[in-house]
């Protein structure tokens, strides 16, 4: 494999070289001595590594002074680096064996005392001894790394497009799975299999909220049988290689919907469209939230919308930016997030429409293209 090569599970090595260099520069600008990244989404973003977090420390150390980054890794976990870009990048590999203090190995790579920032996925099992060894409590690296992870490059955008197309293909097959008399659990099992068949590496989540269960935004599945006349919320997603996630919600009616349901759902469609139409660089995240929220409120549905309008997406299903009241962050080209207003009537029914959108130079590109209307299936 060349230095610019990549396995199917990651991007070309040059992508990770650029990310690590920019991360070090942002750490320096923040007055830090370095970044400490243990396994999780940040390590995958910076190194393409799928290493897992165990009781033995694995840690990417990025000095802010521009020195070569290092990976401190248990010798018995060296194989976890082979699919990453670590060797091709020429990083220093500091392997250690039981009996060696890995926190001192990390500290030796930085000034003393060191002002560091750690990934928010670092377990307390490692954070506390690292703090004691470094002589100073680290801060979270979220404020540094979000500047990188929020704005997707072309390779990431392409991955999100493919993820969106894959989950759209699953929604297109909903008539195969969603039928009166089947339980939510039976429907969910078929959907999970279809998620894999349509190109995902796993089904990260499957929500089948039928009838009154649809009024719980985070209901998963149950043994409730689907009945004629039910409104059913289907919220599904998962990762496609190299690890970027889909997340899409559509709402279905088992038979022709009650006119009152159809009327309220039409308002939800308008709220979703209003939020998507507002997305462009320079608009604030809270303004997009308000576009959906204010329209629903004007039609008497303010109390039925109980969550934020959206969340960022990428290597994590939920990441920044969050499309929520109080977030005055201005959107920038390359940001990717969900737009998912919903309405919920406890004990009765609920509905949600969700697309992933990518901010473009003058608007946005939805990666999901399935119809937004209430999907009517045989009841």
Domain ranges of the chain: 13-148, 154-377
How far are the Cα atoms of 13, 40, 115, 270 from residue 32, in angstroms, in the given order?
26, 21, 5, 46
The answer to whether 171 and 352 are in contact (CB under 8 A) is no
C-alpha dihedral, 181 to 185 to 189 to 192, nearest 10°: 120
Alpha helices in the chain (DSSP H): 13-29, 41-47, 102-107, 124-134, 142-149, 154-172, 174-177, 184-197, 259-278, 285-298
- Beta bridge partners, 183, equal 225
Place of tokens 């039981």: 98
Please indicate, yes or no, whether the overall pTM of this predicted structure exceeds 0.85.
yes
* Angle at 334 (CA atoms; ends 162, 272), nearest 5 degrees: 75
Quote the CA–CA distance of 319 and 164 in Å, as a whole number.
17
Residue 250 tokens read as 């559509």
- Provide long-range contacts, Cβ within 8 A and 24+ apart, for 297-301: 299/267, 301/264, 301/267, 301/268, 301/343
pLDDT at 214: 98
Pairing of strands 34-37, 116-118: parallel
Query: Cis bond leading into 68, ω under 30°?
Result: no
What pLDDT score was predicted for residue 16? 96
- CB atoms < 10 A from the CB of 8, how many? 7
CATH top class, domain 154-377: alpha beta
pLDDT of residue 4: 40
> Within the chain, what is the greatest distance between any pair of CA atoms?
70
Between CA 17 and CA 62 the distance in angstroms is 12
Phi/psi of residue 291, each to 5°?
-60, -45
Mean pLDDT per block of 10 residues along the chain (379 residues) reads 52 95 96 97 96 95 96 95 94 97 97 93 95 93 92 96 98 98 98 98 98 96 98 98 97 97 98 98 98 98 98 97 98 98 98 98 98 97
Which superfamily does CATH assign the domain made up of 13-148 to?
Creatinase/prolidase N-terminal domain (3.40.350.10)
């Amino acid at each position: 494999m060349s230095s610019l090569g990549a396995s199917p599970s990651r991007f070309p090595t040059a992508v990770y070289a650029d990310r690590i260099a920019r991360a070090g520069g942002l750490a320096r600008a923040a007055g830090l001595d370095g970044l400490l990244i243990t396994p999780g989404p940040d390590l995958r973003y910076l190194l393409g590594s799928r290493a897992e977090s165990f009781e033995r420390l694995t840690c990417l150390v990025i000095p802010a002074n521009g020195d070569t980054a290092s990976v401190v890794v248990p010798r018995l976990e060296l194989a976890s680096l082979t699919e990453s870009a670590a060797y091709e990048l020429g990083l220093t590999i500091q392997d250690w064996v039981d009996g060696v203090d890995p926190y001192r190995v990390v500290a030796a790579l930085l000034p003393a005392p060191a002002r560091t920032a750690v990934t928010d996925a670092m377990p307390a099992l490692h954070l506390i001894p690292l703090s004691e060894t470094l002589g100073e409590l680290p801060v979270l690296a979220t404020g540094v790394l979000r500047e990188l992870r929020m704005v997707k490059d072309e390779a990431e955008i392409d991955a999100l497009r493919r993820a969106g197309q894959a989950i759209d293909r699953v929604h297109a097959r909903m008539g195969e799975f969603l039928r009166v008399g089947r339980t939510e659990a039976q429907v969910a099992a078929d959907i999970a299999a279809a998620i894999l068949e349509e190109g995902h590496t796993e089904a990260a989540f499957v929500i089948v909220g039928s009838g009154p269960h649809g009024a719980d935004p985070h209901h998963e599945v149950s043994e409730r049988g689907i009945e004629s006349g039910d409104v059913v919320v289907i919220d599904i997603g998962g990762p496609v290689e190299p690890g970027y996630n889909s997340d899409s919600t559509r709402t279905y009616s088992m038979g022709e919907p009650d006119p009152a349901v159809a009327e309220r759902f039409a308002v939800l469609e308008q709220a979703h469209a209003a939020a998507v139409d507002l997305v462009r660089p320079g608009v604030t995240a809270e303004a997009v939230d308000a576009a959906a929220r204010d329209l629903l409120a004007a039609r008497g549905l303010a109390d039925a919308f109980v969550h934020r309008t959206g969340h960022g997406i990428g290597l994590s299903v939920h990441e920044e930016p969050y499309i929520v009241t109080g977030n005055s962050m201005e959107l920038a080209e390359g940001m990717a997030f969900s737009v998912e207003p919903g309405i919920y009537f406890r004990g009765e029914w609920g509905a949600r429409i969700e697309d992933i959108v990518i901010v473009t130079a003058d608007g946005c590109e939805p990666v999901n293209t399935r119809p937004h209307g209430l999907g009517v299936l045989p009841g």
